Structure 1
Amino acid sequence: MTRELLDQAIQIREEGRARQDLTILEKALELLNELHVDDPTNAEISYQLGIVHDNMGREQGAIAFYVQALSQGLAGKDLERCLLGLGSTYRALGQYEQAVETLRRGVKEFPDNRALQTFLAMALYNTKQYKEAMEITLHNLLETTSDEKLQYFKRGLTYYAEHLDEIG
């Protein structure tokens, strides 16, 4: 029964997010809160509460539930998305060191997730770690672009991505 209700809450949350409709998101929040009362140690419910708070612009609430979900042993794709949500929320609130720490964990555990890498690059920029931020950004650009002019210079740009401070 809980799985069906959780799936329903996720579907409602997704609809509310897609439509940017707070009334729909509020319905998802109510249902998730009820599920959380019945099963407060369920990492997936805590994680979904984090997302719905994020979707509603309630960042502090989102952080609390994301952290709770992590402490409850969230795993797999949900862990991947939770680390992204938590890290980007920390960054949005100006908590840059926590953002870097969280997003580094995400990149370490999910090295192929370019969204995690991009958010990490932004958080590194915010902490004045410009060289590493540029390196991550340039590597992602060069690995994903089909732009012929960038591809022509790919070898040189790849080298310079890791040697930005070198002269001539």
Structure 2
Amino acid sequence: MPTTPTDPTLAAHLDAIHAARDRENMQPTIVAFIAVLEEHPDDARVLYEVGGAYDTAGDELAACGYYERALARGLEGDVLRRCSCQYGSTLRNLGELERSAEVFANARAAYPDSPSLATFEALTLHAQGRLHETVAALLDVIADHVHSPDIDRYKASIRGNADYVRGLESSRDA
């Protein structure tokens, strides 16, 4: 049951809590987000932020549940992209590689130009033992998103090598 987008005042409050977080001590951030969740128990963005706080704190099982609830409530736009990235990564860390790959495949279909999704998807490919595909995916990220005179000169070659390495994966499976 999707909800309406988070109101701008609430979104600003969530952004402020996130900006003030201390990655080495996430408990105050978790407490702050839980307090907001008590006031807005069905808000997808709030659920996502609680999940993210637990994830950063290393409690990936708790994070997973909040991400799932947030996705079920109807995230959209950049928050959906970020949640998909974090959820897919968390599933990988929990050893749920097929679910992780599925989350990334769906997210990449919706956000094909996202370098963060591509990068974290590559980590799932690596965890699945798909090493050639991992290297090819990371070469694609470099060719598509790294801009420097040194890289720009070789983008065609980088893309060609990505295709070649990706083909090694296919020929191995044949």
**Residues 26 and 121 of structure 1: is their aligned pair in 2 closer, same or farther, counting only changes over 3 Å?**
closer
Extract unaligned runs of 5+ from structure 2.
1-5
> Displacement of 1:30 after TM fit?
3.3
Q: Percent same amino acid at aligned positions?
A: 27
**Residues 26 and 138 of structure 1: is their aligned pair in 2 closer, same or farther, counting only changes over 3 Å?**
closer
1:34 alignment counterpart: 38
Partner letter of residue 67 of structure 1? E
SS at match of 1:16: coil
Given candidates 25, 29, 35, the residue that maps to 1:25 is: 29
1:61 alignment counterpart: 62
1:95 alignment counterpart: 96
TM-score, structure 2 length as denominator? 0.78
> Displacement of 1:87 after TM fit?
0.8
> Displacement of 1:145 after TM fit?
4.5
Extract unaligned runs of 5+ from structure 1.
none
> Displacement of 1:81 after TM fit?
0.7
Higher RCO structure (Cα 8 Å, ≥6 apart): 2
**Residues 22 and 156 of structure 1: is their aligned pair in 2 closer, same or farther, counting only changes over 3 Å?**
closer
> Displacement of 1:111 after TM fit?
1.2
CA deviation vs aligned residue, 1:114-166 (integer Å, no higher than 9, x gap): 01100001101111222322221111122315262x54443333222112238
TM-score, structure 1 length as denominator? 0.81
Q: Distance in 1 between matches of 2:26 and 2:152?
A: 44
Give the RMSD, CA atoms, in angstroms.
2.4
8 Å CA contact 2:122, 2:137 repeated in 1: yes
Q: Distance in 1 between matches of 2:103 and 2:60?
A: 15
8 Å CA contact 2:17, 2:29 repeated in 1: yes
